[in-house]
Chain A
Amino acid sequence: MVKLMEIPEEEFIYPGTRACAGCSMALIYRIALKALGPKTIITVPASCLTVLHGMQGFCTTKVSVLHTPFATTGASASGIVASLEDKGLANDVNVVAFAGDGGTVDIGIQSLSGAVERGTNFIYACYDNEAYMNTGVQRSGSTPLGAYSTTTPNGKTGYKKNMPKILEAHGIPYVATAISSYPLDLYEKFKNAMKINGPKYIHILAPCPPGWGYNPKDSIEIGRLAVQTGFWPLYEVIEGKFELSKDSSKYLDPQKRKPIIEYLNTQKRFKSISNEDIERHQSYIEDHWKQIQKRIENE
């Protein structure tokens, strides 16, 4: 794995952005841009990242950003790539779509599916804070079971959509999961994606202090618990080959995994979760890891 000292010192986000205190998305974006470097064009739909990018008249980053309507992220990236190909510059520039979970798993799923099905050479990064946080914490297809949101006052009744699996089903050459709490792993995944020609998808869990209901200082700790409880396994699927990431590998052993309640207890959004839903969470995790175990054995 990459060493801390190997991560470039250069920052690509100017200080003083409008992101909330303790925002994991800002951290994810910071690490990702360090990996991507200056020859990068970003496209962003309506999302918390729009807020980070601030108001007209400024560019918050050292790379160009094209803002685009909510549903169009995949198409917008396709348009940038097509134009670069038209100009013979496609091999010189990274085209990266950066969208939230609502913009990815809900309203943007069609244009994303189209873009990857067409084999577009780009990276799509979904930072997943598990609800429509920018508009005031409404549930999304990525909100987990039992979580409070302003549109699920009694807790969400269904499960979180498994978006990485949906992308994998498109047969694309690179799918990965990551989280802000393991920045070296996150950095390396962007680097790995950059080496591959074709559509790349990285789904990054992004703990959100105001949306999840916790103290901003705890963002890293809560993200670690998501991995340590097995709720958020870190892995890569390169050309169809599954590989559990180093930071998640020991949780293949069920004994090493912390009980999910330790994760849920850190966040006010799960304050009223029923015991039944806690059990459903736990058994979902056990099932998920059994599938992972099976994949590893088969490969």
Chain B
Amino acid sequence: MTITEKKSEISDKKIKILTGNHAAAHALRQVKVGVIAAYPITPQSPVVEKIAEFISEGKLKARFVKVESEHSALAVCCAASATGSRVGTATSSHGLMYMYELLPWASGNRLPIIINLATRATGAPWSVWTDHQDFITIRDVGWIQMFCMDNQEIYDTNIQAFKIAEDSRVFLPAIVAYDGYILSHTMMPVSIENQEDIDNFLPPLEHHYNLSDVSVVKGIDPVTTPHLRDRGSEGIAPGYFEYRYAMQKALENSIEIIMNVHDEFSEKFGRSYGNGIYKTYLTEDADVLIFAMGSVASQARNIISKLRKDGLKVGLVSLKLFRPFPALQLRKLFNDTKLVVVFDRDIGYGYEGVLSYELKAALYGLKQSPFIKGFIVGLGGRDVTDQHIIQGVTKAIKESEKGIISHETDFIGLKLENLGDYDEADYFKGG
């Protein structure tokens, strides 16, 4: 037996230099998805290219259905999941929006499907660069939504996501998101764990549906009524209202399970991400807390030490779990905070940045509710710089001192002044 063989028998754990997309692909390989259905879209495509490579090299025994659209991709995933297979896919932006019809179908059907989302702005006009609009836009469809800040976290969160989604108390689909290009195409060292350890952490799927067993006849998802259905000797069947109640309660109750799975993972593999739903950085003595997700939170973390040197006690809360929104935990966290500065790489168009108004709603009724100031940054891949974060924090401090409460959106990083004599009429048409 050569040394290499011996090594691989004992441990196949290794550190690889991977892009975020390839970290996701490795996770899908190691959770041994049975069926993948995906359609290419920038910047997600390398995920499925890598999966195709794994399959052709015999490293993954999944069926890869190379569909003709994202709508079909998620439809294939739904049907394959209902037939009893472990299922995963990946997409971005327009792909996710093209899947929209199937998103509430998957959650309503309680199918533990995992989507990897390399975030990207939504058209029009076209943009292939990151912002969080695609991720935010699907907030009301009943999926668990998690955001990652580095490539190791993408790998780790995928493995946890399957365990969470397949928990019989949950049975819900989940999205694992990471910034397009900033993580999807950037290489970082990623620990790839022993297959055996992954297998022990994530047991085989025991699905509540298994159409493949033809001896058990099931009619999945026929029409429901507004009322209960008396089936005589077979008992009473729920109406639509009861199904949706159960789905909402499963989402609410999943927060604790998400935290527990994170803790179990962290104990086993030695890596943790805050409490599994948010991460804190220098929050203990902070007067000002920044609240953000993904690339924006990473950027803020970069500048905090500088702000502290300048005498501003700033800390960071980066949100990992966006849905279900962990309102209770955030109320406790922000209870003693005076000022929260929220940076949104998205807008609830016609209102505010979504993180900003979600946080405001979550903290409603606190005896000492913090002053919350939101900014819009980095749409369509516009760089979010240290300067932008400083500018936001400084402005927020000023406004909080004056007690100015406004729901008007405040953009940082616009370059309107550089447009010179650009015809405004054309500008507003976006042309």
Contact = CB atoms under 8 A, between A and B. Distances in A.
Partners in one complex: yes
Contact of A83 (B34, B105, B239): B34
A77 interface: yes
Contact of B71 (A50, A64, A72, A87): A72
A74 B68 CA distance: 11
B231 A82 contact: no
Nearest to A63: B217
Interface residues of A, number: 48
Interface string B58-89: 00011101111101110111111111110000
Interface stretch (B220-228, B289-297, B302-310): B220-228
A297 to B, nearest CB: 36
B34 A86 contact: yes
A87 B37 CA distance: 16
Contacts of A113: 68
B426 interface: no
A134 to B, nearest CB: 11
A55 B229 contact: yes
Contact of A117 (B68, B73, B101, B214): B68
Contacts, number: 178
Interface in B33-72: 34-35, 37, 61-63, 65-69, 71-72
Contacts of B212: 83-84, 87, 89, 93
Nearest to A87: B212
A61 B219 CA distance: 8
A219 to B, nearest CB: 24
A85 B65 CA distance: 11
B224 A65 contact: no
Given A58-B231, A79-B35, A72 B219 contact: no
Contacts of A57: 229, 231, 234, 236-238
A86 B214 contact: no
Interface stretch (A39-47, A153-161, A176-184, A273-281): A39-47
Interface string A48-90: 0011011111111111111111011011111110111111010
B225 A86 contact: no
A83 B62 CA distance: 9
Contacts of A51: 223
B225 A56 contact: yes
B188 to A, nearest CB: 32
Contacts of B90: none
Interface in B212-254: 212, 214, 216-225, 229, 231, 234, 236-239
B118 interface: no
A45 B218 CA distance: 16
Contact of B72 (A54, A55, A64, A74): A74
A76 B69 contact: no
Nearest to B105: A69
Contacts of B82: 66, 79-80
Contacts of B34: 83, 86-87
Interface residues of B, number: 48
Given A66-B211, A111-B72, A80 B80 contact: yes
A136 interface: no
A62 B229 contact: no
A290 interface: no
A213 to B, nearest CB: 26
Contact of A55 (B35, B61, B224): B224
Contacts of A68: 75, 78-79, 105, 221
Contact of A79 (B79, B221, B225, B229): B79
Given A72-B75, A114-B68, A66 B220 contact: yes
B71 A71 contact: yes
A171 interface: no
Given A55-B229, A111-B75, A114-B67, A82 B80 contact: yes
A69 to B, nearest CB: 5
Q: Which has the most chain A C-beta neighbours within 10 Å: B61, B77, B85, B239? A: B85
Interface string B375-409: 00000000000000000000000000000000000
Contact of A60 (B61, B72, B73, B219): B219
B214 A64 contact: yes
Q: Which has the most chain A C-beta neighbours within 10 Å: B76, B77, B211? A: B76
A118 interface: yes
Nearest to A45: B75
A53 B68 contact: no
Nearest to B101: A69
Given A38-B214, A58-B219, A72-B72, A118 B66 contact: yes
A110 interface: yes
Contacts of A83: 34-35, 63, 79-81, 83-85, 211-212
Q: Which has the most chain B C-beta neighbours within 10 Å: A60, A83, A118? A: A83
B58 to A, nearest CB: 15
B102 interface: yes
B223 A118 contact: no
Nearest to A46: B223
Contacts of A111: 68-69, 71-72, 75
B259 to A, nearest CB: 31
Interface of B: 34-35, 37, 61-63, 65-69, 71-73, 75-85, 101-102, 105, 211-212, 214, 216-225, 229, 231, 234, 236-239
Given A71-B75, A78-B79, A111-B72, 17 more contacts: A50-B222, A51-B223, A55-B237, A63-B217, A64-B218, A64-B219, A65-B220, A66-B220, A67-B219, A67-B222, A75-B37, A79-B76, A79-B79, A84-B83, A87-B84, A92-B214, A110-B72
The list of the 5 closest CB pairs from A to B, nearest first, reads: A57-B237, A79-B79, A114-B68, A59-B219, A83-B83
17 contacts: A56-B222, A57-B236, A57-B237, A58-B222, A65-B219, A67-B219, A75-B76, A76-B79, A78-B67, A79-B65, A79-B76, A79-B80, A80-B80, A82-B65, A86-B61, A87-B34, A117-B68
